[in-house]
Structure 1
Amino acid sequence: MTLDPTLASRLDSGVSMAAPLPGYEAPARLVVSSTIAGVPVRTYGSSGPTLVWLHGGGFAAGDLDMPEADVVARELVARAGVTVVSVDYRLAAFPAGADDVVAVVSFTSRATGPVLLGGTSAGGNLALAAALRLRDAGTPLAALVLAYPYLHRVNPPATAELEERMAPLPESVRFAPAKMTAMATFYLGPLADDPPPLAYPGTAYSDTADFAGLPPTLVIGAEYDDLLPSALDAASRLRAAGVPVSEYLETGVLHGHLNTPGLPGALRTLDEMAWFLRAHTAAN
C-alpha cells in the first residue's frame, strides 16, 4: 500500500505529524495526575482492568502530553473499557526507566491483581524489559502490547521489499545505523557498544526459551518503518518460546503513527489494540 496521503503531505510541507487531523477530537475522560510508588503518572478513567502505558521517544524525549500518551490513553479508555495509567518514566537513564515501570506495575498489581502492560517504540522496549523482570519476580501480567517496538541495538536485516519502500523517505523518519548508534549512545553512554542485558530486550538473550512464561502479547508493526524487522523478530521469538502472540501490521503508515491523532491508520490500530485488551480482560 502507498503511504497515507496525509503523512506524505506532512513530510513534504513540514506540518507536524502530531497535529490532529481536521475534525478529530480525542474522547473526554476523567484524568488525574498523581504518583505511584514515587513515579509520576496520569490516570485515565476509573473503572475496568488497568493498562499501564508507556509512550515512545527514543529514551531521550516524550512526555505525558504527547498523542502517543494522552490521545492513546483516552481512546483506549473509550474503546476497551480499561483504566489507563500513563507513566512518566525517567529518560536517558538505563535502567531507571525500566525501574519506574516495574515499580508502577508491581504496586498496581498488588492493589488490583494482574494488569495489562504496553507501550510504543522505546516504550515497547521498556514494556518487554519490565515484563521479563516482573515474570522473574513472580508478578503476573494479564497481557502485553508492543507497538512498533524499538528492541534491538542493531536492527535485524530488512527485506528487499522494506528497503525499497523506505528508500524514498527523508532521513528524518528513517532509522539509519548512525541514528541507531546516536540513540544508543545517548541512552547508555559508554555502554552503548556492549549494551547491558535488557537494555535492548530483543537481543538480551540468545535462547528463545528465555522468553517463555510471558503473557499473551500483541505485536504491532508499521508498514513504512525501518524498525519493522525488530517487531517481526520479537513476534517470532516470543512465539517460538510458547507465548501466545497476535501480530498486526498497519499499512500505509510510518513509525510513530499513533502520534497523529485521527489518522485512519492510527484509529485502525487503536481498534486492534482495544479488541486485544478486551479479549484478555474478560476474566479479570
Structure 2
Amino acid sequence: MQFTPQINQILNQLEKIQSFNAQNPLDDTRKYLETMCLQLSGKKEPVTMIEELNIPKENHQIPIRIYRPKGKTAHKSSAIIYVHGGWFIAGGYETHDAVVRKLANKTGSVIIFVDYRLAPEHPFPAGLNDNIDAVKWVIDHADSLGIDQNQIGIIGDSAGGALSTAVSTEIGELLKFQVLIYPAADNTFTSNSWKVYENGPVLNKEGGIQAWNWYLPADQANNPLAIPILLKNFKKTPPTLVILAEHDPLVDDGKELADHMENAGVTVKKSFYNDMVHGFMHMGEVLNETQSAINEMSEFAHQNFKMSTEKQL
C-alpha cells in the first residue's frame, strides 16, 4: 500500500516511540497514546478558560473538563460533549487536549470533555453510564454552566465513537447532532479493511482483540449498546456526521454503521478522508487534514444548531 510522504513521516516517528517505564501491556498502551498525542498533535491553541469539575454519583465521581472558547462571552452558549477514544482502555484529558481546544475555538461552543471510567478496571457498561450521566447532568445544570440546554451536540472518536452512538441511541432526543470520528463499531475483526490493515498502521488486530476482551464481559457479548454494528433502533439518533479515514482498519465497520443509520431514516453525512490513517485527528503537527476535519465538524455543528433554533421560532 502507498502512503503519502507526510503519513510515512508520521509512521516513522511512531515506530520510535517507547513508553517510559511501562509496567505491563496496559500501561504501555496508555503511555504510548499519551506520547503519540504529545509529539504529533501540534500547538495547543489558547482558550478563554478551562474548568475541571467532578459530577457526583453514588459510588464514584465523573471528572469533566470544560473548555470555554477564545473570545466567547455569551451567557447561554451552545455546547458539545466530547467522548474520547483509546480502545476503551486508554485516553484522557491530555491525549485529546489539543484537539478539543481547536474544536472549542472553531465551533465557538463550550466543549465538555468526559473523563469516563476505563476498562479493564471498569468494563462495560461503566464508561457508557458515565457518558449518559454526564450528558444528563450538563442539561440539568445548563443555567449554572452558562449553556443553552437546547443547543447541545456530541462528538466521539474511535472507541468514543462507539460510546457516542450508544449515548445517542439512549438519549439522542436531548442532542441536536452527533459526530463519529472513525468509530469502533464492531468487535469481530471480519471486515475487509481489517484484513488489509490487520497489522496497522496505528492499530493492529492483536491489540484490538485484547482491548475488546478487557472492555466487554462475556455476559454482554451481544449487547448492541457495546457493539454499535448490532444496533437496530435509531429512533432517537440525531443528524450524524461520520468521518472515515482511508487507511484505517475501522473504515469498513464505520461505513456499515453509517449505512445502518441511514437505512433507519437518520440524516447521515459520510465524509471520507483520502490517504489518512486512524488517529489523524491527533496528527495536526504534520497533517493539514486535521484542521480540515475540525472545520467540517464546526460547519456541521453550526448547521444543526441553526436548524434547531429555526424550528423553535
Same fold (TM over 0.5): yes
Per the shorter chain, which TM-score range?
A: 0.7 to 0.9
Measured after TM superposition, the shift of residue 101 of structure 1 is: 0.6
Say which is worse superposed, 13-22 or 145-154, in terms of deviation: 13-22
Where in structure 1 are there 5+ consecutive unaligned residues? none
The residue number in structure 2 matching 1:59 is 88
1:11 aligned to 2:11?
A: yes
- Could you say what secondary structure the match of 2:118 adopts? coil
d(CA) in 1 for partners of 2:200 and 2:155? 28
Task: Judging by fraction of residues, say which structure has more helix.
Answer: 2
Measured after TM superposition, the shift of residue 155 of structure 1 is: 3.9
- Could you say what secondary structure the match of 2:228 adopts? coil
Measured after TM superposition, the shift of residue 54 of structure 1 is: 1.0
Measured after TM superposition, the shift of residue 25 of structure 1 is: 2.1
Match of 1:147 among 170, 176, 181: 181
Instruction: Verify the 8 A CA contact 2:183 2:250 in the aligned structure 1.
Output: yes
Describe the shift of the 1:21–1:107 C-alpha distance in structure 2 as closer, same or farther (beyond 3 A): closer
Measured after TM superposition, the shift of residue 211 of structure 1 is: 1.4
Instruction: Verify the 8 A CA contact 2:180 2:242 in the aligned structure 1.
Output: yes
1:107 aligned to 2:137?
A: yes
Which runs of structure 2 are paired with 1:1-284 in the superposition (5 Å)?
Answer: 2-13=2-13, 14-15=15-16, 17-20=36-39, 24-29=42-47, 30-37=49-56, 38-45=61-68, 47=74, 48-66=77-95, 69-92=96-119, 93-110=123-140, 111=142, 112-114=148-150, 115-135=152-172, 139-155=173-189, 157-158=191-192, 166=197, 170-171=199-200, 173-176=202-205, 178-191=206-219, 194-203=221-230, 205=231, 207=232, 210-262=233-285, 263-282=287-306, 283-284=308-309
1:210-232: CA deviations, max 9, x gaps? Answer: 11331000001011101001110
One-letter code of the match for 1:258? M
Measured after TM superposition, the shift of residue 172 of structure 1 is: 5.9
For these two proteins, the number of residue pairs brought into alignment is 267
Tell me which of the two structures has the higher relative contact order, counting C-alpha pairs closer than 8 angstroms and 6 or more residues apart: 1
One-letter code of the match for 2:12? D
Instruction: Verify the 8 A CA contact 1:147 1:220 in the aligned structure 2.
Output: yes
Q: What is the aligned-residue identity percentage?
A: 28
d(CA) in 1 for partners of 2:225 and 2:115? 20
d(CA) in 2 for partners of 1:171 and 1:239? 29
d(CA) in 1 for partners of 2:238 and 2:258? 13
One-letter code of the match for 2:100? A
Runs (4+) of structure 1 exceeding 6 A deviation are none
d(CA) in 2 for partners of 1:163 and 1:60? 23
Describe the shift of the 1:61–1:247 C-alpha distance in structure 2 as closer, same or farther (beyond 3 A): same
d(CA) in 2 for partners of 1:2 and 1:78? 34
Describe the shift of the 1:21–1:72 C-alpha distance in structure 2 as closer, same or farther (beyond 3 A): closer
d(CA) in 1 for partners of 2:40 and 2:135? 33
One-letter code of the match for 1:102? I
Where in structure 2 are there 5+ consecutive unaligned residues? 18-35, 143-147
Say which is worse superposed, 181-190 or 97-106, in terms of deviation: 181-190
Describe the shift of the 1:21–1:78 C-alpha distance in structure 2 as closer, same or farther (beyond 3 A): same
Measured after TM superposition, the shift of residue 55 of structure 1 is: 1.1
Q: TM-score, normalised by structure 1?
A: 0.85
Measured after TM superposition, the shift of residue 15 of structure 1 is: 4.6
